[in-house]
Amino acid sequence: MNLKPPIQRSRIQRVQTATLNIKRTQSANKGPMRQKSLSKGDLTKLGLPYFSAQCMLIINASNGKEIIVKYYIFKPFEGYQQNKRVQIASITKLMTCYLCVSLCKEFEINLNEYFFVTYEAVDIGGTMAFLRAGDQIRIIDLLYALMLPSGNDAALVIAENLSIVLKEFSSQLNIQYRIQPFIQQMNIQAQLFGMSDTKFMNPHGLHNEFCYSTAQDVAKLCFEIYKEPLIREIASTSEYEAVMKRQGQFERIVWYNTNKLLTQQGFYGIKTGVTIKAGPCLTSYYQDEKHKLIIVLLNCLSNDIRWRETMNLVNWVKQ
C-alpha cells in the first residue's frame, strides 16, 4: 500500500469554504435554511399515495432539485419532514463507500490491493458480510461487501485501514478511536456536499445517539455520490462473488443485495437500512425515458412496505 503523507489541507480548505457559504446564505435569509413541511393531510389533498415514512423526499436526479408536480403549482414539492434530524441506519454506508473510493484516488491506492480484517471488525454485529478475523480482502470486494449485504464488518475494515493512511496510530487503541481519522473525513465530506444537518459517528450506521441526518441531506448525498460510475455500478448489482485470502487459501463468497427494488424495471439502487431507532429506511434511484428520480424514505412502518411505497411515489410523479 502506498502510505503517502496525509494531504488534508485542500480538503479542509474546501470544507471551510463550504461552511462559510452555508452561513452566508443563512444570514441572507435571516434564519436557518429550513422549509416548513406539509402535513400528510395536505399531501393527500395533492393526490399523493399513502406512505408510512416519518420523513420523505423526492428529487430530480438530473439536477438535484426538488420535484415540481402539476398538483403543486406555486412552489416545488418539498417532501414531508425532510429537514427533521433522525437516525439513518445503514444509509450511512453510502458516505463510507464514497469516501473509500475518493481517498483511494487521492492517495493513489489501487482498488485491487488487500486490506486486513481484524478481530474487532468482525465482532461488531448487525448485518454482516461474514468476514473473518485474519482475512485479506481486496478493496473493490470490500465495497461490494459494504453495499450489497450491508456488511457492518466491511465498513469497519474500510474505516480502520484507511485511517492508517490518514494518520498513524497505536494498534493498542480501541477500534472506535483508531477509526476517528476516517470518521472525521466523513463529516468533512458531508459539509462539502452541503449536508449541514448531518453528523456521522461511525462508518456503518448502527445506533449512536449523536448520529443524525435528514431526508434532505440524504438526498444530497445520493445525488452527489451517483456522479461516481463505480458507486452506481456497485449499488445496482444484485449479486457479487468475491475471492479472499483466508487461512492461507483462496476462498469464494457470494453476496446478495438487500435492495429488492432491483428486480423492478427502472430501479438502479441505491441503499437500504434498518435499526430499531431508525426504523426501515430506503433510498432509491429510478430512471426511465422521461424521469430521473431519487426517493428517500426514512423510518417506514415495516421493511416490506418500503418497496411498495417507493413504487407508488414514483408512479405518482409519472402520472
Grid coordinates representing 33 are: 435554511
Assess whether pLDDT exceeds 50 at residue 64: yes
Tens-place pLDDT, residues 125-178: 999 999 999 999 999 999 999 999 999 999 999 999 999 999 866 555 667 778
Tens-place pLDDT, residues 286-305: 999 999 999 999 999 999 99
CA dihedral 120, 126, 127, 131 (to 10 degrees): 20
Identify which has the larger pLDDT, 288 or 8: 288
Q: For residue 228, give every residue at least 6 positions away whose Cβ sits within 8 Å of its Cβ, in sequence order, or none.
A: 98, 101
pLDDT at 40: 72
Q: Whose CA is closest to 144, among 198, 96, 208?
A: 96
> CB-based burial of residue 282 (10 Å sphere; 0-12 exposed, 13-18 middle, 19+ buried)?
buried
pLDDT at 26: 42
Tens-place pLDDT, residues 88-138: 999 999 999 999 999 999 999 999 999 999 999 999 999 999 999 999 999
Q: For residue 225, give every residue at least 6 positions away whose Cβ sits within 8 Å of its Cβ, in sequence order, or none.
A: 94, 95, 97, 98, 231
pLDDT over 70 percentage in the chain: 82
Assess whether pLDDT exceeds 70 at residue 48: yes
Q: What is the pTM of this model?
A: 0.87
pLDDT at 16: 58
For residue 145, the tally of other CB atoms under 10 A from its CB is 26
Mark 242-276 as b/e (b = at least 16 C-beta within 10 Å).
bebbbeeeeeebebebbbebbeeebbbbbbbbbbe
- Average pLDDT in the chain: 87
pLDDT at 25: 43
Identify which has the larger pLDDT, 36 or 254: 254
